[in-house]
Amino acid sequence: MDGTAQLDHTSHDAMLDRLAQVCVRVGLNLAHDQELVITAPLEAAPLVRRVTEHAYKAGASLVTCLYVDGVSARARFVHAPDTAFDVAATWLADGIANAFRNNAARLAITGEDPALLSGQDPDRVARANRANARANQAALGLITGFAINWNIVACATPAWARTMFPGEPEEVALSRLWSAIFAASRLDGPDPVAAWQAHDAALHARAAMLNDRAFDALHFRGPGTDLTVGLANGHRWLGGSGTARNGITCLPNIPTEEVFTAPHKDRVDGHVRATKPLSYQGTLIEEIAVRFEGGRIVDATASRGETVLERVLGTDDGARRLGEVALVPHGSPISQSGLLFQNTLFDENAASHIALGQAYGSCLDGGTSLDASALAARGANSSLIHIDWMIGSGEIEVDGLDAGGRAPLMRGGEWVDAA
């Protein structure tokens, strides 16, 4: 599928309404009398209004949107005193966490400018990120612990479109990005809700196969990569929708093409090379290559953005260890679009990937009811960050390892269905 193809059979307004409907009905599965907290860039207001309408039709008691202005956010790095970068809006983060404790659903609409902080002092960026991560740790814990139903979707914005399609007139770039988002979000068929239900069932079937096999580790092999990822004790593979602790079944990411689980934080060894650039806080980090020993990154290089990568790895003790491993076929629609979105929601669904930092408690049997020490004893990593980067391609092979040997899972980047 050409991700930039014009979906001219349906008007833009109708496609936007489809996205909002899928977000509320499939992504969030919003419950009657449930509150909804939204964060979104200013440019996403038309999508927010449609989501709000569908949310109230679904019985929401209150919809609250917190808008983010990228220009104002950048002004801090240009004009604020140096002491400003160790400060975060803890009062706001506490309020959001309290809303989640009271069963509010969470929707994040992404569309930020990938180059927003390009050229800014990486030390200030790293300090601000640490301060924000600490402030939002309680709210993030409720999300990673799957306490509530939540969802992430995307909205095209002029700045993002200019980054993806440089040289194109802004109107053309924005149209191409919207078309790519609509296609990747499976909105271009006659019944997007039914399409998502079918895709969700396929992801569940793949996760069930991996859970039945209960491999001890995965082995990734390909150009620049020879990596063994041990899996956490009692790990569970997840994919597509899941049931949160509040009893609501939701589909957290739209789009999604992955099945994923928790690595063991101490059992990752070997070397791996990124197959796609990582866009992080305005910096494109290219050709990442790292070496693991005993679960920890001991060497890390990048041809571009290496200083930013080093600061990410220095966030805390868990930043050099893995919190997620995910398998994505090379034939996924996002991969086949040929586009680098410079947005993790999309790029992580173009290739198999690993994530530095925080593990998801939901990826362990009974994990959502375990405290931090019990999760760590099972091998789950803890960190202020969770950053995905891509290691899969059409040249990568993946095997599952257990006491009986190895079984082929992916060849040429595609699933081996006989596994």
Q: Encode 355-379 in three state secondary structure.
A: EEECCCHHHECCHHHCCHHHHHHHC
* H/E element, 388: strand 386-390
- DSSP symbol at 25: I
Q: Check whether 7 has a pLDDT greater than 50.
A: no
User: CA 37 to CA 245: how far, in whole Å?
Assistant: 18
User: CA 270 to CA 290: how far, in whole Å?
Assistant: 9
8 A C-beta contact, residue 329 and residue 397: no
* H/E element, 264: strand 263-273
Find all residues with CB under 8 Å of 124, minimum gap 6, and list them.
77, 82, 85
pLDDT confidence bin for 76, thresholds 50/70/90: very high
8 A C-beta contact, residue 229 and residue 323: no
Q: Which CATH class is domain 12-184?
A: alpha beta
Query: For the whole model, what pTM was predicted?
Result: 0.85
> Average model confidence (pLDDT) for the chain?
93
Q: Which residues pair with 275 in a beta bridge?
A: none
User: CA 182 to CA 197: how far, in whole Å?
Assistant: 17
Q: How far is CA 256 from the centre of its chain?
A: 9
Domain ranges of the chain: 12-184, 214-235+257-415
Q: Check whether 198 has a pLDDT greater than 80.
A: yes
Q: Check whether 369 has a pLDDT greater than 90.
A: no
* H/E element, 52: helix 45-57
Q: Check whether 5 has a pLDDT greater than 70.
A: no
> Helix, strand or coil for residue 188?
coil
Which whole number is the average pLDDT over 315-336? 95
Q: ∠217-239-192 over CA atoms, to 5°?
A: 155
Which whole number is the average pLDDT over 249-269? 97
- Tell me what pLDDT residue 132 has: 93
pLDDT tens across 77-118, in order?
999 999 999 999 999 999 999 999 999 999 999 998 988 888
Which whole number is the average pLDDT over 288-314? 96
pLDDT tens across 29-47, in order?
999 999 999 999 999 999 9
Q: In a 10 Å sphere around its CB, with 0-12 CB exposed, 13-18 middle and 19+ buried, how is residue 88 labelled? A: middle
Q: Check whether 284 has a pLDDT greater than 90.
A: no
Say whether the peptide bond before residue 114 is cis (omega within 30 degrees of 0).
no
> Helix, strand or coil for residue 82?
helix
pLDDT confidence bin for 368, thresholds 50/70/90: confident
- Nearest-10 Cα torsion for 289, 308, 130, 317: 30
Which whole number is the average pLDDT over 239-267? 96
